Amino acid sequence: METRKIYNRIALLRQERRLSRKELAERIGVNFQTVGYLEREEYNPSLDLAFRISEVFKVPVDFVFSTSPMRPMSEELMNKNK
Amino acid sequence: MSNSKIKSNLRIPIVSNLAAIMYIIIRWELNPLARTSTWFLITVGLALFILLLTYYICFWRTGLWKYTHEKVDKLDERELAENNRALRFSYSVFSILVLSMMLIYVLAEVTISIIPVVLLIYLAHVLPGVYLGFRK
């Protein structure tokens, strides 16, 4: 089965929360290299891992992950305020 | 260091490692009577040295050996998936290789000696690392 590419905002959220890859990896229970793979969108996480990531950032899963390219946060905020 | 440089740095010793295995097996089985000659001992000894050196460079120093022999509960889901792909590749290659060798031995009407068996067991253990070393 061919898998779809899953886009994410992990790098952005991690930097915003001032977390290192190692710290985030410890919180979600993976190797820090896996965080790099996730941020570069080279690996699609399982549903369990996706939920763990969204729980760390305290945001809904669909805010972190998407099947279409992520829009810039500023654009999303603008649309929300309209 | 660029990614392509890392790849080529690891690929050359990996190929040397596999070539050393092949060389020892062929030399060992080709002429059993020459096994005690000085030239044989020098060349096979050199191949064995290359085998050990490249094993250290490719699989020990890089952590590939430990990574491919790690307990399942110590790996995360991405590492498990990666290991799984590497093991699938190794299984296919090793099966084809062993079946081909068995066929050759049967056709040539010779019995397999302990050295090729030991090297084949070693090969079975390093093949997942070979796959990962070539891909990473």
**Are the beta carbons of A25 and A48 closer than 8 angstroms?**
no
- Write the pLDDT tens digit of every residue in B90-111: 999 999 999 999 999 999 888 8
pLDDT at residue number B1: 41
pLDDT at residue number A82: 66
In chain A, where are the structural domains located? 7-81
Residues of B within 8 A of A30 (CB-CB) are 76-78
- Nearest residue of A to residue B79, measured between CA atoms: A34
pLDDT at residue number A1: 78
pLDDT at residue number B8: 57
Mean model confidence pLDDT for chain A: 91
For residue A74, is pLDDT > 90?
A: no
Average pLDDT over residues A49-66: 95
pLDDT-based confidence at residue A71 (cuts at 50, 70, 90): confident
Return the higher-pLDDT residue of B68 and B9. Answer: B68
* ipTM value for the complex: 0.81
- Write the pLDDT tens digit of every residue in B56-82: 999 999 999 999 999 999 999 999 999
Number of H helices, E strands in chain B: 5, 0
B73 contacts chain A (CB < 8 A):
no
- Taking 3-state DSSP, the helix, strand and coil percentages for chain B, each rounded to the nearest 5, stand at 85, 0, 15
Residues of A within 8 A of B75 (CB-CB) are 31
Q: Give the domain range for residue B93.
A: 3-135
pLDDT at residue number B34: 81
3-state secondary structure of B127: helix
B77 contacts chain A (CB < 8 A):
yes
The answer for residues whose C-beta is within 8 angstroms of residue A69's C-beta and 6 or more apart is: A7
CATH class name, domain A7-81: mainly alpha
| A41 sits in which H/E element | none
For residue B3, is pLDDT > 90?
A: no
pLDDT-based confidence at residue B123 (cuts at 50, 70, 90): very high
**Interface A-B: count of C-beta contacts within 8 A:** 18
For residue A27, is pLDDT > 90?
A: yes
pLDDT-based confidence at residue B7 (cuts at 50, 70, 90): low
Tell me the whole-structure pTM to 2 decimals.
0.81
pLDDT at residue number B2: 45
Average pLDDT over residues B108-115: 88
Q: Considering its fold, how many domains does chain B have in total?
A: 1
- Write the pLDDT tens digit of every residue in B27-64: 988 877 788 889 999 999 999 999 999 999 999 999 99
Cα–Cα distance, B38 to B35 (Å, whole number): 8
